[in-house]
Structure 1
Amino acid sequence: MISHDLFLVFGIIIAGFAIPSMMGAFADRRPPRASAIAILVGGSMILIALSQKPGGYTLNDVPEAFIRVVAHFTR
C-alpha cells in the first residue's frame, strides 16, 4: 500500500519542482532538458502509482497519500 503512495507522492513532488525549472529555462531562452526529463520521470511515477493501485486514486485520496508517506517516514 505504501509503495503506491510513495510513487504517487514522489512523482507529484518531482513533477512539481520541474515546472519552475522549465519556466526558468524558457525565460533564459535555453532548452529545458533537465526539467523535461524530470517531468517525464515524475509523470511516469504517477502513472505507475495510478495503474498499480487497485481501484486507482481519486483527488480526495492524494492528500491522504501525502499524510501516509509523511507518517511512514516520521514513525
Structure 2
Amino acid sequence: MDPDTLFVVGLGLGVLSVPAVVSAISRGERPRIATITLMISGAMIVWAITNKPGGYPLEQVPAIVARVINRFT
C-alpha cells in the first residue's frame, strides 16, 4: 500500500478513536477497542513516515490528505 494512503487512513482512524476513548472513560468503562484502534492508527502513521523518503513535513499534511481523497473520489 502507498505510504500516503496508509498515513491518511491512520490519521482518520486516530481522529475517530479519540472520541471513543473519551466516551468510554467518561462512562467509567475501559476503552479496550478504542485504545487498540488508536495503537493501530499510530503504527500505520509511523510505518508510513518511516517508509516515505524524507518523511512528512507538517505543512504538507493537508495537501497529502487532499491528494489521497481526490485519488479515491
- TM-score for both structures, normalised by structure 2: 0.94
Q: How many residues align?
A: 73
Unaligned runs of 5+ in 2: none
Structure 1 match to 2:53: 54
Identity of aligned residues (%): 33
Per-residue CA distance 1:27-72 (angstroms, 9 max, x = gap): 1101000110010110000001100000000111111111111111
TM-score by length of 1: 0.92
Flag structure 1 segments of 5+ consecutive residues without an equivalent.
none
In structure 1, the residue matched to 2:39 is 40
Question: Is residue 14 of structure 1 aligned with residue 13 of structure 2?
Answer: yes
Q: What is the one-letter code of the residue matched to 1:53?
A: K
